[in-house]
Amino acid sequence: MNAIKQHIPAFVDVEHRPGWIPFDTTDELLNLDVVRRYRDEKFHRWSKSGDHLMVESDEGYEWWVVGFLKDAAAVDLPAWKAKYLARLADGREVTLTDETTPRVWSSCGGHLKLSDGTTAVNVRSERQMAQQAEDRELELQGLCPQCRTAFERTETLQSDGFIKARDVCLSCGRSITSWRPVHT
């Protein structure tokens, strides 16, 4: 019997770290709740990198570690390969992988350091950051970024001296929770 342990980054504060979840087949693995929740409208495919189960989204340009596999060799999935949409210094947009020249040596935010010593812009990351800024601006205006409908706000005074605000879209039901200190 094989098993997976959900990956939770060390910077995430949780009371209890997850244990191993057993499974027998690749299909059973991919139908576990802890795995299935990663499948969304941008889902591309499942893959593995060493002993890690990966989920690839956005045509393979975005990826996340889902968990650690006890016996990765027994899981029938393709190997994960990093893939970036990069804007080179000359303005061309190209897809970079381990098989292209230049290759990506490191990625930080919207910037890529390449094997030829140059840098490039991670186009997908740049677009995502622009979308997040636009969404935040709409939220500040009291509008849902998803459907641009007004939010309904409820506020609750918390015992720690903060006000918890919960905005719920009246149209699509999207919910955003925020906290701010009570000003005296």
Structure tokens at 136: 């935040």
**3-class SS of residue 33:** helix
Establish if 44 belongs to a structural domain.
Answer: yes
d(CA 99, CA 70): 29
d(CA 174, CA 96): 35
d(CA 85, CA 64): 17
Render pLDDT for 119-175 as a digit per residue (tens, 0 to 9). Answer: 999 998 888 888 889 988 988 888 888 888 888 888 888 777 788 888 888 888 888
Contact 94, 88 (CB under 8 A): yes
pTM: 0.69
CA 122 to chain CA centroid, nearest Å:
15
Residues 170, 121, single domain; the answer is: no
Establish if 177 belongs to a structural domain.
Answer: yes
Establish if 79 belongs to a structural domain.
Answer: no
Confidence of residue 21 (pLDDT cuts 50, 70, 90): very high
Residues 14, 62, single domain; the answer is: yes
